[in-house]
Chain A
């Protein structure tokens, strides 16, 4: 068996990437469901019902897409410049920490000022957190995959210390959580009696913003050029390090948005389960979207359906809800594999 480069890649082949990835991950999960002693068809029906079957289910799914969109955009922007930011999880918590610090009574502004202010602060925190590894990368060629990944654990342990220590809310009956954000810092709900909040609108605006940035501006052009070829970009006079640092600030900022929106829209207070790994899922979202900002909308919806649906399905069928994580992971592997297969064709001999 060997790989041969494809001579021309049609749009159809490219479109097959996410579709085949979805199918492969569903097939793999079916096998696991059969192994767990349930019917995959029934599981599939329950999964769809659980994620899209009612007003409440839909609202839950959409609520889940919000952090996925932000983190997916964060990964998509960074990966375009070949800046491998694996630290969105940490940047998300950095954003949430700053918003907690500022939003639990330190400052009180009218909501129309308070919300943008917190988002800006959160973005700054996320961006600055990624700045360190990025400078180490540009100055000393230190691998940012390692540094950003390890920074996640440092940030998480720091949050751990905060919610068990100085920020622990005395009113929370001993639970390790910080004080809730004040009313003016809370994002309103879009639908009554659901948890769906206005963070969705911000996420969609951010998506189009990133799309516009990448498509129509010199910054986006520079990011793409540097990502495709540092050598040619350097030769052409593009300031590579400046572009990479700028990209880091944008990417970290988007991940910081995720933290603020989860805090102010959904949870209301800082805990250690603010994010069940949205930063990592964002990588899958971005890869499924082939790093296209608008594609991030669709792929985060897909991942949200998968995880919300699997949650409810696993409860009804009494199988582990880790099935959603398996499905997400398999879909990432399938994407990577099928991306390779769009560039190469396998010849058996």
Chain B
């Protein structure tokens, strides 16, 4: 089905921000009926390129052509009309409206009293049948699962006669089964003549779904090839620009019990149960992975360990001592290091400096302040030491944290937490959105802390991460935790089923362990 003229072609796109060259002379061609995987580490220029494509930014040089006709730069409206559609990582759906409302939103004329509902429903039905996307147009979005919501987003794009569909890290929120479902849909879409750009970090998915790959590094096109002619390893080295840092984990002897949850329950003020009968036991030298589809109570578990949530019943035992009223300060003082999920909003204060952010959880300690006066010299030395040893790239101690990249922000948080030698480390989505290099760095640091005797709880939606790090995995589903599962005796598919609530799978997994 591949025709002569490319459907989309970007020629010599260059975009600079100040001295930073975000896109350097990038060419990209996309044919009908193909899936192009766009790869690159954070800051490689993927987002900038997509923003230029959609007219949010104006390129300094270069042209964009769709089906042979040139797109005028800086016009989002024209880009949409030409048939570009995007499914964002964070969905842009109105939760309290129906699927139909969401799909029609913005396509209706502004000053019209009549809604063309029946025509819209017919069109949606036709599209759902054609592409085997199974969604009821009349159900409300907040009743749908994450996978279904993503299908609504795709349907929304198709409804607008999208010819080129761009998916930004679409599998980050999906279970393995839902991802497979998505890939099947994508295959169907391309056989109907659509073209797809698939932005991702996960190489396995690139190999599974794409026809061609394009790797960006430092704003340049580094590597381009047919997927059939390459390997995941080759792509990874091209992305990082060298051999991948190897993360190997040697299992260490389990030490004493550091942290325990015994039948923990918690609910919010309205009486909704946030955590249901949690049991967990963390030993020194152990890494426990918490798997689960996002929104199943992982953030509440993280809040509990961080000291932000008080359990309504059950015991939280830290180092053999029961904690009745956990507060963030209490947990910090007792040696709990916390790496929050949302680094930009919770982990750092963007408007404060690097030094002030390092000081955030320790300024009250004796070394850093006396009689209410900040000891800025020790703080500066401490910050300088940490930014070097953790390779935090920033514009100096007194530059504001807002300007740092996500990876550097995470390194800053990691350095702040690990330099206090915590006994229990809670890492909530520690490598979410990080590139391969930064991910390996974070993993290395967590493993080192663990082999020095700390216990680590990692909450992650990335099963590969859990399989490579965790000694045991507990699945979180609808506010409760499964018993520990040995990752060596299970597969991603089985865990995926457990994550979507198939309790019998957990039982059979446990049975398998018991028998062997």
Contacts and interface: CB of A to CB of B under 8 A. Distances in A.
Interface string B386-429: 00000000000000000100000000000000000000000000
B332 interface: yes
A228 B351 contact: yes
A36 B346 CA distance: 55
Contact of B372 (A219, A229, A237): A219
A136 B318 CA distance: 35
A107 interface: no
Chain B interface size, under 10 / 10 to 19 / 20 to 34 / 35 or more: 20 to 34
Nearest to A234: B328
A310 B329 CA distance: 54
Contacts of B369: 218
A235 B374 contact: no
Contacts of B348: 232
B424 to A, nearest CB: 15
B373 A218 contact: yes
Contacts, number: 67
Interface string B348-377: 111110001001110110000100111010
Contacts of A234: 308, 328
Contacts of A55: none
Interface in B333-348: 338, 340, 345-348
A225 interface: yes
Nearest to A220: B374
Nearest to B345: A231
A217 B374 contact: yes
Contacts of A8: 18, 403
A231 B361 CA distance: 13
B328 A225 contact: no
A233 B332 CA distance: 13
B204 to A, nearest CB: 34
A221 interface: yes
A140 to B, nearest CB: 14
Nearest to B340: A235
Contact of A216 (B340, B356, B376): B376
Interface in A199-229: 216-219, 221, 224-225, 228-229
Nearest to A236: B360
A239 interface: yes
A228 B346 CA distance: 11
A234 B331 CA distance: 13
Contact of A7 (B17, B308, B347, B363): B17
Contact of B18 (A7, A219, A224, A225): A7
Most chain B CB within a 10 A radius of its CB, from A7, A8, A231, A232: A232
B74 interface: yes
A216 B351 CA distance: 18
B395 to A, nearest CB: 10
Contacts of A217: 372-374
B63 interface: no
Contact of B374 (A7, A216, A231, A238): A216
Interface in B297-340: 306-308, 327-329, 331-332, 338, 340
A139 interface: no
A193 interface: no
A216 B379 CA distance: 12
A221 B363 contact: yes
In this complex, the member of B17, B350, B360 whose beta carbon has the largest number of chain A beta carbons within 10 angstroms is B360
A27 to B, nearest CB: 32
Contacts of B331: 237
B361 A233 contact: no
Contacts of B329: 237, 239
A234 B332 CA distance: 12
A225 B332 CA distance: 18
A339 B227 CA distance: 50
Given A216-B374, A235-B338, A349-B74, A224 B352 contact: yes
B328 A235 contact: yes
A228 B352 contact: yes
Contacts of A233: 349, 360
Given A234-B328, A235-B308, A218 B364 contact: yes
Interface in A227-277: 228-229, 231-239
Among B345, B347, B372, which residue has the most Cβ atoms of chain A within 10 A?
Answer: B372
Contacts of A235: 306, 308, 328, 338, 340, 346-347
A56 B372 CA distance: 43
A7 B22 CA distance: 13
16 contacts: A218-B364, A218-B369, A218-B374, A224-B352, A228-B351, A228-B352, A232-B346, A232-B347, A232-B348, A234-B308, A235-B328, A235-B340, A235-B346, A236-B360, A237-B331, A238-B360
CB-CB nearest 10 A-B residue pairs:
A237-B329, A237-B328, A236-B360, A228-B351, A229-B349, A228-B349, A236-B361, A235-B346, A232-B349, A218-B369
Interface of A: 7-8, 216-219, 221, 224-225, 228-229, 231-239, 349
Given A221-B374, A236-B360, A237-B331, 8 more contacts: A218-B363, A228-B349, A228-B351, A234-B308, A234-B328, A235-B340, A235-B346, A235-B347
